[in-house]
């Protein structure tokens, strides 16, 4: 395997761009580069802000604490099942349960609205063109940036939600080789899981109002987005859903060469992703590194990834030299 001395030097993307890079793995750094509001500690922390309307109330927070989870979908699922049981018992606590459910879902909606880039930001056409250069796109982000970029011209993209009611069908996943496919490894805000376990995609005219994604009239639709938690808890959740499991297995079986952009591959939160890369037949991996890191942090990062992926040819490059992470892509000043 290709191994150079571990130092703080970074390649320019242009030095390796001519190689065949068929795969792309996007992390939160990709989204932060476009919209810095994504750089929050967690969606759960945003939803607790007193200034947010609405925010999580004390009773709802107690439920998160009781479940030892910061994932909204865990709480929403428990409340949905509680509502079913309560109904069988004559609905003695229907008001309290519906109040908790409403607060959880509306707080999630408010937090996403607070943190998310507006749907009409500039650069979507350029993102569409660059993304179409890859065959397989994997993302651990829950945001709508890839979705909006793809919808600018969706003819060359596929997302596996072409079944009835825009649902995922594991028996129908064939894609022509000339199309770009996208996999939401941790779900996304526009994906929901129904009581029967099927996953569907919510569609709309650009989702100008992100709150439309959290329709309280459909409590049986639980947002499928693993936004928090340890790597082990994320992996357990992935195994419980056929769509997420399919996406993960596709990463495990990936061949060729992969670009990792804006992803820390953190052991605590992303070990399952590292394990998938180990299992894969990927030969070369180009890993982006933010040049704003200190020299010692760059060396530490490169050394850690080299230890984690000893059987892969690794190339560490300056993230800002990649067209998907160009600093000029930031739109903070536009709003």
pLDDT-based confidence at residue 135 (cuts at 50, 70, 90): very high
**Residue 308 in this model has a pLDDT that exceeds 90:** yes
**Residue 300 in this model has a pLDDT that exceeds 60:** yes
pLDDT-based confidence at residue 215 (cuts at 50, 70, 90): low
pLDDT-based confidence at residue 211 (cuts at 50, 70, 90): low
**Residue 303 in this model has a pLDDT that exceeds 70:** yes
pLDDT-based confidence at residue 240 (cuts at 50, 70, 90): very high
pLDDT in the model for residue 205: 55
Give the pLDDT mean for 131-137.
Answer: 98
CA–CA separation, 277 and 254 (whole Å): 8
For the chain, the distance separating the N- and C-terminal CA atoms, rounded to the nearest angstrom, is 46
Least confident of 206-215, 265-274, 308-317: 206-215
Contact 28, 143 (CB under 8 A): no
pLDDT in the model for residue 19: 94
**Average pLDDT in the chain:** 91
Give the pLDDT mean for 32-37.
Answer: 92
pLDDT in the model for residue 213: 67
Tokens for 325, please give them: 């992470």
pLDDT-based confidence at residue 233 (cuts at 50, 70, 90): confident
Q: Answer with the residue of higher pLDDT: 106 or 239.
A: 239
Give the pLDDT mean for 73-78.
Answer: 87
pLDDT in the model for residue 119: 83
Helix (H, G, I), strand (E, B) or coil at 315: strand
Q: Answer with the residue of higher pLDDT: 137 or 114.
A: 137
Give the pLDDT mean for 264-271.
Answer: 94
pLDDT in the model for residue 325: 96
pLDDT in the model for residue 217: 61
Least confident of 90-94, 114-118, 122-126, 140-144: 114-118
pLDDT in the model for residue 124: 94
Give the pLDDT mean for 285-301.
Answer: 97
In this structure, the number of other CB atoms found within 10 A of the CB of residue 62 comes to 12
Give the pLDDT mean for 289-299.
Answer: 97
Give the pLDDT mean for 284-307.
Answer: 97
pLDDT in the model for residue 73: 80
Q: Answer with the residue of higher pLDDT: 228 or 231.
A: 231
CA–CA separation, 279 and 295 (whole Å): 30
Contact 216, 103 (CB under 8 A): no
């Amino acid at each position: 395997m290709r191994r150079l001395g571990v130092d703080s030097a970074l390649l320019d993307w242009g030095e390796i761009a001519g190689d065949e890079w068929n795969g792309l793995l996007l992390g939160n750094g990709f989204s932060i580069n476009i919209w810095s509001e994504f750089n929050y500690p967690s969606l759960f922390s945003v939803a607790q802000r007193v200034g947010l309307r609405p925010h999580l109330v004390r009773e709802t927070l107690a439920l998160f604490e009781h479940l030892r989870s910061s994932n909204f979908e865990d709480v929403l699922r428990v409340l949905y099942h509680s509502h079913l049981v309560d109904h069988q018992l004559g609905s003695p606590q229907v008001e309290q349960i519906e109040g908790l459910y409403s607060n959880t879902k509306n707080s999630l909606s408010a937090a996403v609205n607070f943190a998310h880039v507006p749907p009409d930001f500039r650069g979507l056409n350029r993102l569409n063109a660059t993304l179409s250069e890859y065959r397989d796109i994997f993302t651990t982000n829950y945001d709508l940036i890839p979705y909006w970029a793809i919808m600018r011209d969706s003819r060359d993209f596929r997302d596996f939600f072409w079944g009835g009611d825009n649902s995922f069908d594991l028996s129908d996943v064939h894609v022509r080789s000339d199309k770009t496919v996208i996999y939401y490894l941790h779900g996304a805000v526009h994906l929901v899981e129904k009581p029967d376990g099927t996953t569907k995609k919510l569609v709309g005219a650009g989702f100008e109002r992100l709150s439309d994604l959290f329709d309280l009239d459909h409590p049986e639709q639980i947002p499928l987005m693993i936004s928090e938690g340890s790597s082990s808890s994320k992996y357990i959740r992935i195994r419980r859903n056929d769509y997420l499991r399919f996406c993960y297995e596709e990463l495990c079986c990936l061949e060729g060469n992969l670009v990792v952009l804006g992803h820390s591959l953190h052991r605590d939160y992303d070990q399952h992703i590292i394990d998938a890369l180990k299992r894969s037949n990927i030969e070369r991996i180009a890993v982006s590194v933010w040049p704003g890191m200190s020299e010692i942090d760059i060396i530490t990062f490169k050394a850690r990834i080299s230890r984690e992926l000893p059987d892969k040819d690794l190339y560490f490059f300056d993230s800002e030299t990649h067209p998907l992470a160009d600093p000029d892509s930031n739109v903070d000043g536009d709003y």
